[in-house]
Amino acid sequence: MCEIKIEHLTRNYGGGKGVFNLSFDVKHGEVFGFLGPNGAGKTTTIRHLMGFIKAQEGSCTINDLDCWKDSEKIQLKLGYIPGEISYFDDMSGTEFLKFTANYRKIHHNLQKDLLERFEFDPKIKIKKMSKGMKQKLGIVAAFMHNPDIFIFDEPTSGLDPLMQNRFIDLVIEEKKNGKTILMSSHIFEEVEKTCDRIGIIRQGKMAAIDSAAALKERHVRHYNVKLENETLAESFAKDFNGISNGLNVTVSARQSLEEIFMNYYGDDRK
Ligand SMILES: Nc1ncnc2c1ncn2[C@@H]1O[C@H](COP(=O)(O)OP(=O)(O)O)[C@@H](O)[C@H]1O
Ligand SMILES: [Mg+2]
């Protein structure tokens, strides 16, 4: 079952900008990484899913609801972290969370746990918050009503490494709870740690979709090493699976996803 479905989505801003004939889906209980550099079209895609903009061509659905026509219903249920949290500047964080809870008509609220987890005091005005604080406010607002489907637009930007890890832990927990998650990112590590599948978007088009495991597997290298004599080979064979004076060595590169990523984006830097 597909929870989030994007079919032939096109939004042409001119000059090669926008998204073009984009299709992918996120299945029930899946964590999908939407990976791409700045300007690739991640936020544009996500804004269609949230019903903020209408598709020129193609369609988006969430749980079979049309993202444009049924946007209000979708927005009420979803856990969404926007790329930039810049509205309601005059409210304090506390007021914003109260407003969000009222709007969603939620009774059971996970807010207290989330504030503790992210060591966040929301009392001050949003306009006085740093980028990291606004990001934490966005996280609390997205998780506090315990939604089944999440959409995150570069959720860890502005967070320090400790808080980035706390966020990743939270995503892993929600994954275990069976939640469906679409997460945009340009950080390989966070998608590698959390996502079942990864879609790589480049210049508004999907360059590749594969499981994180398969993308990594592509970059496992197999070497056949010949040693000078059998004695040397035997001593190595204690550590490796040596045959005669040849060794099979498997090397998996730490930055495998980054390498794959660069294969897709390499010519962007020309
Ligand atoms: N409303 C708009 N009008 C014109 N161009 C836009 C608009 N919104 C986004 N773009 C352009 O479309 C491209 C994709 O933007 P965006 O989806 O924000 O990328 P990403 O989130 O992957 O960084 C960028 O080149 C951006 O400048
Ligand atoms: Mg963006």
Same domain membership, residue 184 and residue 242: no
Taking CA atoms only, the protein residue closest to ligand 1 atom 6 is 13
Q: What is the pLDDT of residue 254?
A: 47
Same domain membership, residue 202 and residue 227: no
Same domain membership, residue 213 and residue 249: no
Same domain membership, residue 62 and residue 82: yes
Structure tokens at 257: 């996803």
Same domain membership, residue 108 and residue 235: no
| Domain of residue 111, residue span | 2-218
Taking CA atoms only, the protein residue closest to ligand 1 atom 26 is 39
Same domain membership, residue 124 and residue 100: yes
Taking CA atoms only, the protein residue closest to ligand 1 atom 16 is 41
Q: What is the pLDDT of residue 203?
A: 92
Q: pLDDT: is 150 or 202 the higher one?
A: 150
| Among 159, 157, 213, CA closest to 31 | 213
Least distant ligand from the CA of 17: 1
Q: pLDDT: is 254 or 259 the higher one?
A: 259
pLDDT above 90: residue 227: no
Taking CA atoms only, the protein residue closest to ligand 1 atom 25 is 39
For 54-79, the pLDDT digits (tens) are: 999 999 999 999 999 999 999 999 99
Same domain membership, residue 174 and residue 65: yes
Same domain membership, residue 228 and residue 209: no
Q: What is the pLDDT of residue 240?
A: 56
Q: Name the band, by pLDDT with cuts 50, 70 and 90, for residue 8.
A: very high
Q: What is the pLDDT of residue 171?
A: 96
Distance 249 CA to ligand 2 centre (A): 40
Mutate to test the pocket of ligand 1, among 10, 11, 12, 13 (most ligand atoms within 8 A of CB): 13
| Tally of structural domains, the chain | 2
**175 CB within 6 A, ligand 1:** no
Same domain membership, residue 241 and residue 170: no
What is the residue-wise DSSP string for the chain?
Answer: -EEEEEEEEEEEEETTEEEEEEEEEEETT-EEEEE--TTSSHHHHHHHHTTSS--SEEEEEETTEETTTTHHHHHHH-EEE-S---S-TTSBHHHHHHHHHHHHT-SS--HHHHHHHTT--TTSBGGG--HHHHHHHHHHHHHTT--SEEEEESTTTT--HHHHHHHHHHHHHHHHTT-EEEEEES-HHHHHHH-SEEEEEETTEEEEEEEHHHHHHTTEEEEEEE-SSHHHHHHHHTTS-EETTEEEEEEE-TTHHHHHHHHHHGGGG-
| CATH number for the domain harbouring residue 95 | 3.40.50.300
**47 CB within 6 A, ligand 1:** no
Of ligand 1's listed atoms, the one at least distance from the Cα of 38 is: 23
Same domain membership, residue 97 and residue 192: yes
For 166-209, the pLDDT digits (tens) are: 999 999 999 999 999 999 998 777 788 899 999 999 999 998 89
**38 CB within 6 A, ligand 1:** yes
Same domain membership, residue 119 and residue 85: yes
Q: pLDDT: is 228 or 199 the higher one?
A: 199
State the chain's maximal CA–CA distance in angstroms: 76
Least distant ligand from the CA of 157: 2
**43 CB within 6 A, ligand 1:** yes
Q: What is the pLDDT of residue 270?
A: 37
Taking CA atoms only, the protein residue closest to ligand 1 atom 4 is 13
Taking CA atoms only, the protein residue closest to ligand 1 atom 27 is 39
